[in-house]
Amino acid sequence: MKIKKLYFALVFIFISFLNLHSKPYVIIVSFDGFRWDYLNRNITPNLNEILNDGVHALSLRPSFPSKTFPNHISILTGMYPDNHGIISNNIKNIFNGKRYRIGNNKSVTEPEWYQGEFFWETAERNGIKTASYFWPGSEISDTLRSPNKVKPYEHNFPFINRIDTVVSWLKLPIQERPQFITLYFHETDSKGHDFGTESDEINEAIALVDSLAGYLFKQIQELPIKDSVNILFVSDHGMQNIDKNKIVNVEELISQYKYDLVDSGPLMQIFPNSENDKENIYAELKRNEKHFKAYLKNELPDYYHFGKHPLIAPIVLIADYEAYLVNNRISKRNYDLSAATHGYAKDHINMHGIFIANGPAFNKGMKTGTIWNIDIYPLLCELFKITPRSNIDGKIDRIRFILNNE
């Protein structure tokens, strides 16, 4: 009897060992605001070398609104913001008065806002260890829903140190080593906002993150597990310069009514104080519909995939391309207005980001058309041979072709 127990114990250990070694390693790196065509400026030699040996999509199509938190979360849940709950970088819960804001260390950790399942949740449930060196949603306070290892966001934390930590995780004993890791850099987003898409500063930022990609790739090549590591370079959205002749102060149009404004830029939401205010505000906005479109929540066109979530305001304003919606505060403080921004409809090509995949799981030297960011979650599930959630919007059939089937 003891021999039989010992036999089964050894078999179990052996199978566990095989499972640990048979699963791939995947690192997904986000360069925030890295527009699809920044790769064409002849200042990204490292990324160009990586993509030439892997898969390079023409662009990565974001979800609407093309903003940072909604799209990072769409990438790792496979859901449109309308379904995963992070409908913007700034959310008002009309039912309890709470607010969700990027930069608010408390609200971004509250589980109630996140209604999709992140890939790291799916992976951990299937026995795959995960880690995050920054990613929107990774600091969720429910430890059953967070990655195994989490670095709380520090905006100014040195970029090289982030990479060194990720590489150190891949040197851990196999039982402790994460097999899925996220990594995030803000530089191209910050410089794009501040200086615009044709500035020297954005070109310097592009060259900087390219050097980081090269450094990470070189460090990976020195690992004993290098032949098992797959790297995805993505971005959450692109960037577009603002036309200063298309700035609209919405409050000047509806100053006689009572309401609460949420957000500014390409997307603005209006919460009227009463049904009567709602009718009057909407009518006034429709009469003055220049450089933007006004919609009642239930009349938003289907192609936005936006309008069903209960926290979306009764009135939604969507700026025309290059236009920018402001309130009185921003109008009076012009320095709050960025040189460039994002958040416009997903089909504007300059809202698109990048998608590069390199490693044994992917085809080599493959160029393809636009990939949808909601398809990355099912792609990750396919890589790890685990079952995705059934309620996602992404489809593996749209992206499976980039995988190496040999």
d(C-alpha 172, C-alpha 266), whole Å:
44
d(C-alpha 303, C-alpha 345), whole Å:
9
User: Which two structure tokens, joined as six digits, stand for 101?
Assistant: 């804001």
DSSP 250-297: HHHHSTTS-EEEE--BTEEEEEESSHHHHHHHHHHHHHT-SSEEEEEG
* 162 exposure class (CB count in 10 Å sphere: 0-12, 13-18, 19+): buried
Q: Give, for 28, the enclosing helix (H) or strand (E).
A: strand 25-31
What's the residue count for the chain? 406
d(C-alpha 401, C-alpha 268), whole Å:
38
d(C-alpha 391, C-alpha 377), whole Å:
12
Considering Cα of 135, then 139, then 144, then 150, what sign does the dihedral take? positive
Q: State yes or no: is 68 an active-site residue.
A: yes
Catalytic-labelled residue, pool 68, 77, 130, 341: 68
Q: Are 370 and 227 in contact (CB under 8 A)?
A: no
Catalytic residue numbers, as ranges? 68
